[in-house]
Amino acid sequence: MNSLPSRVFETAVNELAKLPGIGRKTAMRMALHLLKSRREDAEAFGMSIIRMHNEIRYCIECGNISDEELCTICNSPKRDKSMVCVVEDIRDVIAIENTGQFSGVYHVLGGIISPMEGIGPNDLHIQGLIEKVESGVVAEIILALPTTIEGDTTNFYIYKKLHASAIHVTTIARGISVGDELEHADEVTLGRSIVNRTLYENTIRKKNQ
Amino acid sequence: MNSLPSRVFETAVNELAKLPGIGRKTAMRMALHLLKSRREDAEAFGMSIIRMHNEIRYCIECGNISDEELCTICNSPKRDKSMVCVVEDIRDVIAIENTGQFSGVYHVLGGIISPMEGIGPNDLHIQGLIEKVESGVVAEIILALPTTIEGDTTNFYIYKKLHASAIHVTTIARGISVGDELEHADEVTLGRSIVNRTLYENTIRKKNQ
């Protein structure tokens, strides 16, 4: 594609095209949208990104993003500190919070072990998790990492580090999505859903709770 | 969806979600991407939008975006000033430029007549086009507006204003896209492609040029 007729426009398009999943054509549409918007709005847009990067803090307990030293979850007296859900990043925290099914606290690793991308255990917040367990407040660790080789590797690494302590290490259930048809499920998921079948009785009980 | 655990993050997500075609989930992925990037990169991103809005200029001849008083197209001695292609916005300029098939100049209207959105002829750069024609340098006006009711209305308005002058008013050809199958084309396009059929001879000649 030819270069654009204005350098400042070109720069903005290039910056927008760096966003995940955004190609050059979409970036151009976005830049044009911002150009057509009012000056204050374009300013608010640009400043919101800069301010976010400069002012955001991370909860010293769980690594979740926060405006204070402790995030709203870790700071809440209603949350069960003995149950810790281990996730890759804050998007997972938000996703699980939206279910309204979890009353424990989180531990955000900030990534998963990936030799391909040069991410080792020391690049992640795993030490903090171990210290949390050693302090004695934790009864159960729920691993909610992605079902990839990297996720499995990280699960196993954490399990090895923790299995000597007297806590439960569980993983979230993998199975057929609610509403999905069996014929469309992949073999691995379908296989796991049979191996890890649950008592029908328990399903009814949970529904009626 | 619940509110996010940080106000500055929430603000950034809300701003990103204002971009055309971006939902809240995608905005969250983008905000996280920017948060993970280096401070300089996030700053460059935000500033590029603010600078674009503050520093961009519009060509006094055609309305295209520009860094100077005249855009690179109007300023080029190679471009034929007697042929003016009328487009809705600068995205169309970029699209036509990318074909490499047009050696004239442009006139960017900055929108099309849309009573529904309260956009009348006076909100668009139509007067400048008329003055350009009256100055006598223009031999042909090529209307390249969208094939919508609004586009047709704008075409007709411009035609009415200009048909007294001794210039050609043409529109770009509408027909079946190159490579498309007839059975998948909509009826209006297929109908027009038959009414506006071209001599086979001309097609061969153009290909061999």
Dump pLDDT digits (tens) for A65-121: 998 899 999 999 999 999 999 999 888 998 888 888 899 999 999 999 998 989 999
Beta-bridge partners for A86: A107, A143
| Residue predicted with more confidence, B13 or A197 | B13
Judge whether B2 is closer than 8 Å to chain A, CB to CB. yes
| Average pLDDT for B129-135 | 92
pLDDT of residue A107: 95
Q: In chain A, whose CA is at the least distance from the CA of B94?
A: A4
Record the tokens describing residue A196, joined without a space: 């890890």
Record the tokens describing residue B182, joined without a space: 């007839």
Dump pLDDT digits (tens) for B166-206: 888 988 888 888 777 878 778 888 888 888 877 777 766 66
pLDDT of residue A83: 94
Distance (Å, whole) CA A175 – CA A191: 8
- Residues in chain B closer than 8 A to A71 (CB atoms): 5
| Fold (topology level) of A77-172 | Dna Topoisomerase Vi A Subunit; Chain: A, domain 2 (3.40.1360)
- Residues in chain B closer than 8 A to A79 (CB atoms): none
- CATH architecture for residues B7-55: Orthogonal Bundle (1.10)
Judge whether B159 is closer than 8 Å to chain A, CB to CB. no
Segments making up each domain of chain B, as ranges: 7-55, 78-172
Q: In chain B, whose CA is at the least distance from the CA of A10?
A: B52
Residue A68 to chain B, least CA–CA distance (Å): 9
On the question of pLDDT at B113 being above 50, the answer is yes
Distance (Å, whole) CA A84 – CA A69: 19
pLDDT of residue B198: 75
Q: Nearest by CB to A49, which of B42, B53, B65?
A: B42
| Mean pLDDT over each residue of chain A, to the nearest integer | 88
| Residue predicted with more confidence, B98 or A18 | A18
Dump pLDDT digits (tens) for A114-164: 989 899 999 999 999 999 999 989 999 999 998 889 999 999 999 999 888
Beta-bridge partners for A43: none
Check: complex ipTM more than 0.85: no
Cβ pair A52:B11 closer than 8 A: yes
Cβ pair A12:B48 closer than 8 A: yes
Judge whether B19 is closer than 8 Å to chain A, CB to CB. yes
User: The dihedral of CA B71, B76, B78, B82: what is its sign?
Assistant: positive
Distance (Å, whole) CA B121 – CA B66: 24
pLDDT of residue A1: 45
Dump pLDDT digits (tens) for B6-29: 889 999 999 999 999 999 989 999
| Residue predicted with more confidence, B207 or B24 | B24
Q: Nearest by CB to B56, which of A6, A44, A50?
A: A6
Distance (Å, whole) CA A48 – CA A41: 10
Dump pLDDT digits (tens) for B38-87: 999 999 999 999 999 999 999 999 999 998 899 999 999 999 999 999 99
The least confident of A46-55, A191-200, B97-106 is: A191-200
The kind and range of the H/E element at A80 are strand A80-87
pLDDT of residue A188: 82
Cβ pair A54:B39 closer than 8 A: yes
| Average pLDDT for A159-172 | 87
| Fold (topology level) of B78-172 | Dna Topoisomerase Vi A Subunit; Chain: A, domain 2 (3.40.1360)
- Residues in chain B closer than 8 A to A50 (CB atoms): 42-43, 46-47
CB A94 within 8 A of CB B4: yes
Domains A7-55 and A77-172 share a fold: no
Cβ pair A6:B35 closer than 8 A: no
| Average pLDDT for A51-73 | 91
- Highest averaged pLDDT of the listed ranges B15-19, B141-145, B158-162: B15-19
Q: In chain B, whose CA is at the least distance from the CA of A68?
A: B6
Interface probe with B: pick from A48, A58, A117, most Cβ of B within 10 Å? A48
Strands B168-171 and B104-108: unpaired
The interface residues of chain B toward chain A in range 91-150, judged by CB-CB distance below 8 A, are 91, 93-94, 97-98
